[in-house]
């Protein structure tokens, strides 16, 4: 399985948001807890809409949540 | 393992067991491999048994799953199922092409029908296995 060309800080942002659970974040974004877990683990690349919804939930810009990994095309 | 993954396991194991029995009996010389009515009875019985098993199994898994896991399929679930259906389509395409090429060489419709059923069952199994692997190993769709 190829790894994604970007990483994310969702776990940290959930912690800073008062230990928000994956299920709570999923409810706010409109996806399941399993999908949030898969995104955090780099097993699923979310749609642009879900990526923006996650960023808006934490009141952060998209690039504060998802970071492109240098050196990958 | 969540509800959807358990359902994917059920959808892989139930048809595998049912149609291994069906095609195993045919290979062992059951009349369903040569005659129409034995084939209809055997296939009908096994297909109905498979459908009932899948429905009861899904109902049990649904009833035992936490409420949060019963939520509607989201974009990841839909992407995984699209991937399974796309790959299964090509298996079905190849299978039916082989059946079509095989058609002029047989006089009875029963072997043809069984070959066609095998293509359908194989594509369904491929669909289930791809869905299962996508849940297990991750999906970068």
Tens of pLDDT along A25-49? 999 999 988 899 999 998 899 999 9
CB A1 within 8 A of CB A45: no
CB atoms within 10 A of CB B83: 17
Residues in B closer than 8 angstroms to A23, CB to CB, are: 68
Ramachandran category for residue A27: left, alpha or beta (phi over 0 → left; psi -120 to 50 → alpha) = alpha
Asked if B139 lies within 8 A of A4 by C-beta distance, the reply is no
Please, what sign has the CA dihedral across residues A32, A37, A40, A46? negative
Residue A9 pLDDT level (bands cut at 50, 70, 90): very high
Over range A4-25, report the average pLDDT: 92
pTM for this model (two decimals) = 0.84
Q: pLDDT value at position B69?
A: 73
Q: pLDDT value at position A6?
A: 84
Asked if A43 lies within 8 A of B69 by C-beta distance, the reply is no
Instruction: Walk along chain B (141 residues) and give the pLDDT tens digit of each residue.
Output: 788 888 989 999 999 999 999 999 999 999 998 899 999 999 999 999 999 999 999 999 999 888 777 777 899 999 999 999 999 999 999 999 999 998 888 888 899 999 999 999 999 999 999 999 998 887 766
- From A37, which residue of chain B is nearest by alpha-carbon distance? B138
Asked if B76 lies within 8 A of A34 by C-beta distance, the reply is yes
Asked if B74 lies within 8 A of A45 by C-beta distance, the reply is no
Q: Give CATH superfamily name and number for A7-60.
A: lambda repressor-like DNA-binding domains (1.10.260.40)
Q: pLDDT value at position A2?
A: 62
Query: How do the domains of chain B map onto residue ranges?
Result: 3-137
ipTM of the assembly? 0.84
Q: pLDDT value at position B72?
A: 79
Residues in A closer than 8 angstroms to B137, CB to CB, are: 1, 43
């Amino acid at each position: 399985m190829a790894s994604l060309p970007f990483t994310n800080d969702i776990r940290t942002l959930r912690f800073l948001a008062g230990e928000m659970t994956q299920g709570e974040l999923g409810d706010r974004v409109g996806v399941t807890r399993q999908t949030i877990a898969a995104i955090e683990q780099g097993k699923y690349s979310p749609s642009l809409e879900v990526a923006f919804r996650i960023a808006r939930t934490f009141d952060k810009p998209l690039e504060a949540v998802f970071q492109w990994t240098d050196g990958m095309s | 393992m969540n509800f959807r993954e358990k359902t994917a396991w059920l959808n892989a194991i139930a048809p595998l067991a049912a149609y291994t029995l069906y095609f195993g009996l045919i290979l062992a010389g059951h009349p369903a491999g040569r005659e129409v009515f034995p084939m209809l009875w055997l296939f009908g019985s096994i297909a109905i048994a498979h459908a009932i098993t899948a429905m009861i199994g899904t109902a049990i898994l649904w009833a035992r799953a936490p409420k949060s896991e019963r939520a509607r399929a989201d974009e990841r679930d839909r992407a995984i199922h699209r991937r399974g259906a796309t790959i299964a389509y090509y298996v079905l395409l190849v299978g039916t092409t082989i059946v079509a090429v095989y058609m002029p060489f047989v006089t009875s419709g029963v072997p043809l029908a069984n070959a066609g059923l095998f293509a359908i069952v194989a594509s369904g199994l491929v669909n289930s296995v791809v869905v299962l692997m996508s849940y297990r190993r991750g999906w970068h769709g």
